[in-house]
Structure 1
Amino acid sequence: MSDQIEQFDVVVIGAGPAGAVSSSLLNKKGHRILVLEKQHFPRFSIGESLLPQCMTYLEQAGMLEAVQASTFQHKNGAAFSRGEEYEYFDFREKFSAGWGTTFQVQRDSFDKILADEAQKQGVVLRYGHSVIACDSVNGERQLSVQTDTGERYQVQAKFVLDASGFGRVLPKLLNLEQASSLTPRQSIFTHIQDNIDEPDYDRNKILITVHPQHHEVWYWLIPFSNGRASLGVVAPTELLSKIQGSPLEQLQTLVSQGGKLAHILAKAKYDSQVRALGSYSCDVTRLYGENYALLGNAGEFLDPIFSSGVTIAMTSASLAAKAVHKQLSGEQPDWEREYSEPLKTGVKTFKEFVEGWYDQRFQNVVFSKKKSASITRMISSILAGYAWDIENPYVKNPARLSTLAELCQND
């Protein structure tokens, strides 16, 4: 690499969904964009069950056609199982306007499609390049970059967007990290050859299963279009530590206790690496600062229960791209009002429902037999990712969930 400092309008750290969408949107506005990605694509990632709200952002970024041309599994809702109870939400029957269907995706190929589309549109993308320092120099950001072959170089940008996900590059470099208010939990997950032959099993929906004895333990089953599926369990760290064996043995033990899930996966073949992620919830002291902003998981990650991660990431990408374009055009955006506050509207909604899931308020709602059609549509909208639609009473005031849970408990 040359000793000369390269100049870009915006450097985006990370080429996942938030990085691909934000870089595409800014590139479309005529800005010169560099994306630096530490890993090489395709690579494994979780967060495989998209929400319909994502489709809007894929459209904005000009990437939807490429995704639709793939063979990803169609998705139209979310199903919930607990013991013998079974309920589902059809995302096509929702309160908010917008897409009612989406896809369940293997993230290695999905993320590669988005990154490839960004490159085709003119975004400069470099794999195997890590940001190791980020300094403020003459009103801009100067980044020190190291390649995976050990070379180092510097880049100067008018603005930096951190879309590094769990890598959380800027929170670490700029000392922005803080603990999440959510209870620490651990997840164990893998991909399986599911061999499901249940005639009434619906591959068009993610299946969320509650452990019959431990309401705070739940499983996801995300079917793909090729007979494979993503399978994972989330449990308190303390409970998992009491289960003997390797991560695979722990996962299989818990699945065997999963009621209907155990029956559905009776013929499953566990043929892939089992991975674990502990204390995954995280937060930051602020989402933006001097010529930088944090996108998606680089800011706050809640919990995988409602598959909100990619939707929050893409929403942050869209909001930030508008503010960055405004700033690069000579205006001064109000980052609190135009980015942080709008983003937190949806995060706050999801957070209330995450907390309600674990304290059983939302589980009471899900498995209630007496939900009205209008309430069901409002809840369906949030589960479909429309957590920013303030016309929805449960977005405007997420605490209404407690009142609804009490009503459902008294059915």
Structure 2
Amino acid sequence: MAATTQNGGKVATTEEDRRKVFGLAARDSSGVLSPFHFYNRKNGEDDVTIKILYCGICHSDLHQVKNEWKNTVYPSLPGHEIVGLVTEVGNNVGKFKIGDKVGVGCLVGSCHSCENCIQNQENYCSKLILTYNSIDTDGTITYGGYSDKIVVNQHFVVKLPENLAMDKVAPLLCAGITVYNSMKSLGLNEAGKHLGVVGLGGLGHIAVKFGKAFGMKVTVISSSMKKREEAIKQLGADDFLISSDPQHMQGAIGTMDGIINTVSAKHNLVPLIALLKTKGKLAMVGAPEHPLELHVAPLLFGGKTITGSLIGGMKDTQEMIDFAGEHNITAEIELIGADYVTNEAMKRLAKADVRYRFVIDIGNTLYSVEQLG
């Protein structure tokens, strides 16, 4: 038997069909996370069961638990930057074995038959199933990585390189593939090209690392001068522009082959478009909450393009992880305990007070908050 939520999704109530799981969930739009017991489906023939060790915190998690996108199903248990160990595999699973280090990103399902899926672009499938706050194939609500285990179809699981620290790999499953896929799609992965990166946060700092690994010249564009030293000395960027200084920006006009724009706040695109060479491309990977004004003339006089990009398909996600392993690329993180998530992490995230990604130590700290439920 399964109960039905007010949004139409099902929540299983019997252990016969499901397996007990423990995590942290929000019960309402306050966004406060607290201990939550629920059930996952049993491992099917095409499934992999994963013991979660670490889970990154994406800014979209904050939007979701607070219902800021007006689509949240409560209880809402976020987390789509998941890494852990395989504990069970189905009879049809050939890619993974028990003990493998694996990751799960934003997707856990798609139709497998539409044009997007056939072209390895499951991220654009109209029937995609998100890792949390989505309706799974059995009609139940999906719950994410702020929990001790997850069951996922093998197609949506990636194998992790042995040489990378698992906690620092977690953010690559969302932030990493978001910038990697955008750069690859726009040809901004070629040695000698000039890449601009707007915003030095969770996505931006990884874009800098990928850009340098591709052999590109990388310039960070930020409104904060205090980020110059970390951009150049810590992350290896070649140059730094202050977006609020017109004179500083003037010197870089027409020099960039492409720009990855990670900023989610409202801002002016015209000065960024001016930095592009003829036929240059500006990729939007941040999602501003308010509409941006766009003057078309700067696009016309130069044949320039503004485009958007959303995470990546599973083939590109595995490719990105393998590339990160080859070049020893990981995220810069602040590792936190589960108790810190329930108290301070979301408050700091709302203020962008993190360098550059929170990652929850699920394996060592999750059960310490269980008694609070």
Structure with the higher fraction of residues in helix conformation: 1
Q: Same fold (TM over 0.5)?
A: no
Higher RCO (C-alpha under 8 Å, 6+ residues apart) = 1
Query: What band does the TM-score fall into relative to the shorter chain?
Result: under 0.3
